[in-house]
């Protein structure tokens, strides 16, 4: 059995502006480590389970070279460019076609793990044992697998997975059929989910055999699934080059695909989805509020990150000073405010608006202020 991993790393990380920029988005930032980017941590973590020669990164064309420089130990041809931004269902179909063309093996002999580059995971060893067990399960079953996280709080920013039957031990994990997926809830509904005990956060990590994935896509998302074989044929002979993503025929085909998430296009429709219960601590590093969870706060709920920061009579406020010129940042009498400073931009935002930081980026784009994108 050939074990492969696809890491989706094409996001722009706009909710982490102004630290995250178009040429260096959050997956290339050291948000929770002084030494490693988020992407590097993802590679090193899964690299204990899957050989690095079989790890692939799907990103955007403008990030091909920055990511190849960041990951010198990964073959350049393993960093592939999505032809255009089309959400996760077309993206994973594109990756599946690439794997089919590259390995030229029976599709039932290829395992495909899908991860993202912006997760914080505690206990790499527990994660790796879980993944090994899930891959073994996926190799023997005609099913799509994901990982569910036991909710730590009534989170409104994540989707949820509902389970109606008991979990069954399988190696170093526990697995149950998925009853249904739920979209991001409001605060009241999220609290109800936690109280029931039958709901888990949707981690966005997936595991399946290549043949199972392709067949399920053909059944539930045929406008894309029926084109996977065609894309694989067009990839043939190009998977070892350092310039994947430049095939014009694939680009034309891909650009016609609907923009749909893998959850909506496939997982919510399939009757063959399983969830494994995570035995590790997980967080999705999606916006500035997750940065507070990463680094903690003082008794007043304040987090000061960086040098030359003075905060007086403030409460539940986060200040990040990421300037190179020792610029001092001071705050007085603030509450529930976030201040982010870089060498060329400053963000001041109420904590309740952290999910809307991308609106600033949209406004910069509308005003053609590309220098700050």
Please give the pLDDT value at position 125: 93
Q: Are the beta carbons of 30 and 138 closer than 8 angstroms?
A: no
What pLDDT is recorded for position 241?
62
What average pLDDT does range 215-224 have in this prediction?
98
Report which of 45, 211, 23, 226 is spatially closest to residue 118, judged by C-alpha positions.
Answer: 45
Residue 201 is inside which H or E element, if any? strand 199-209
Write the DSSP string, 134-164. HHHHHHHSSSEEEEEE--SS--SSS-EEE--
Q: What's the pLDDT band for 164 if we cut at 50, 70, 90?
A: very high
The answer, yes or no, to whether residue 236 has pLDDT greater than 90, is no
Nearest CA among 18, 14, 16, 12 for reference residue 294: 16
Q: DSSP per residue over 39-60, as a string? A: HHHHHHHHTTTS-GGGEEEEE-
Give pLDDT tens digits for 80-126: 999 999 999 999 999 999 999 999 889 999 999 999 998 999 889 99
The bridge status of strand 119-121 relative to strand 160-162 is: unpaired
Q: Can you give the residue ranges of every domain in the chain?
A: 2-286, 289-372
| pLDDT category of residue 373 using cuts at 50, 70 and 90 | very high
Rounded Cα–Cα distance for residues 8 and 205 (Å): 10
Give the Cα separation of 11 and 341 in Å (integer): 22
Report the C-alpha gap between 99 and 6 in whole angstroms: 9
Higher-scoring residue by pLDDT: 349, 244: 349
Determine the Cα–Cα distance for residues 124 and 48; give it in Å rounded to an integer: 9
The Cα–Cα gap between 271 and 285 comes to 30
Residue 181's nearest CA partner among 135, 139, 144, 216 is: 144
**Tens-digit pLDDT profile for residues 12-33:** 889 999 999 988 999 999 888 7
**Predicted confidence band at 293 (pLDDT cuts at 50, 70, 90)?**
confident
Percent of the chain with pLDDT strictly greater than 90: 80
Residue 221 has pLDDT above 80, yes or no: yes
Written as one string, the DSSP assignment of 259-299 is ---HIIIIITT-S-EEEEEP-S-EEE--SHHHHHHHH---T
pLDDT digits (tens, 9 = 90+) for 299-340: 999 999 988 999 999 999 999 999 887 789 999 999 999 999
Average pLDDT over residues 150-179: 94
CATH topology of domain 2-286: Spore Coat Polysaccharide Biosynthesis Protein SpsA; Chain A (3.90.550)
The phi, psi pair for 357, rounded to 5°, reads: -60, -30
CA dist 157 and 355 (Å) reads 9
* 222 token code pair: 């045929």
Up-side HSE of residue 281: CA atoms within 13 Å toward CB?
6
Q: CA dihedral in degrees (252, 258, 264, 269; nearest 10)?
A: -90
244, pLDDT greater than 70: no
The string of pLDDT tens digits covering residues 115-145 is 999 899 988 999 999 999 999 999 999 999 9
Average pLDDT, the chain: 93
Q: What's the pLDDT score for residue 240? A: 66
pLDDT for 290: 87
pLDDT of res. 256: 93
Question: Is the dihedral angle over the CA atoms 52, 24, 241, 86 positive or is it negative?
Answer: positive
69 confidence band (pLDDT: 50, 70, 90): very high
Burial 28-37 (b: 16+ CB within 10 A, else e): bbebbeeeeb
The residue among 355 and 210 whose pLDDT is bigger is: 210
CA 200 from centre of chain: 17
Query: Using 50, 70 and 90 to split pLDDT, how confident is the model at 287?
Result: confident
Rounded mean pLDDT, 146-159? 93
| pLDDT over 60 at 72, yes or no | yes
């Amino acid at each position: 059995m050939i074990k492969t991993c696809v890491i989706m790393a094409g996001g722009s990380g706009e909710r982490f502006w102004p630290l995250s920029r178009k040429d260096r988005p959050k997956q290339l930032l050291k948000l929770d480590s002084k030494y490693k980017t988020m992407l590097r941590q993802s590679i090193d973590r899964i690299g204990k389970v899957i050989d690095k020669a079989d790890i692939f990164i799907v990103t955007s064309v403008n990030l091909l070279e920055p990511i190849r420089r960041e990951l010198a130990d990964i073959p350049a041809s393993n960093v592939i460019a999505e032809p255009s931004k089309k959400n996760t269902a077309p993206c994973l179909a594109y990756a599946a076609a690439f794997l089919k063309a590259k390995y030229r093996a029976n599709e039932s002999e290829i395992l495909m793990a899908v991860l993202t580059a912006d997760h914080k995971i505690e206990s790499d060893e527990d994660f790796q044992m879980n993944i090994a067990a899930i891959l073994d399960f996926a190799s023997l079953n005609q099913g799509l697998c994901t990982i569910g996280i036991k909710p730590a709080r009534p989170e409104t920013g994540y989707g949820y997975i509902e389970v109606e039957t008991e979990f069954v031990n399988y190696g170093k994990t526990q697995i149950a059929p998925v009853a249904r997926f739920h979209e991001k809830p409001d605060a009241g509904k999220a609290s109800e989910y936690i109280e029931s005990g039958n709901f888990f956060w949707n981690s966005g990590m997936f595991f399946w055999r290549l043949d199972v994935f392709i067949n399920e896509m053909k059944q539930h998302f045929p406008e894309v699934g029926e084109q996977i074989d065609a894309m694989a044929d067009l990839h043939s002979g190009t998977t070892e080059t350092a310039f994947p993503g430049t095939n014009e025929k694939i680009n034309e085909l891909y650009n016609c695909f609907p923009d749909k998430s893998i959850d909506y296009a496939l997982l919510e429709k399939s009757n063959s989805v399983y969830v494994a219960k995570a035995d590790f601590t997980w967080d999705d590093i999606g916006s500035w509020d997750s940065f507070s969870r990463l680094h903690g706060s003082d008794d007043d709920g304040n987090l000061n990150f960086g040098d030359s920061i003075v905060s007086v009579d403030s409460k539940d406020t986060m200040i990040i000073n990421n300037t190179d010129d020792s610029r001092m940042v001071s705050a007085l009498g603030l509450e529930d405010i976030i201040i982010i400073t870089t060498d060329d931009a400053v963000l001041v935002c109420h904590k309740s608006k952290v999910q809307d930081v991308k609106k600033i980026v949209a406004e910069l784009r509308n005003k053609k202020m590309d220098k700050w994108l």
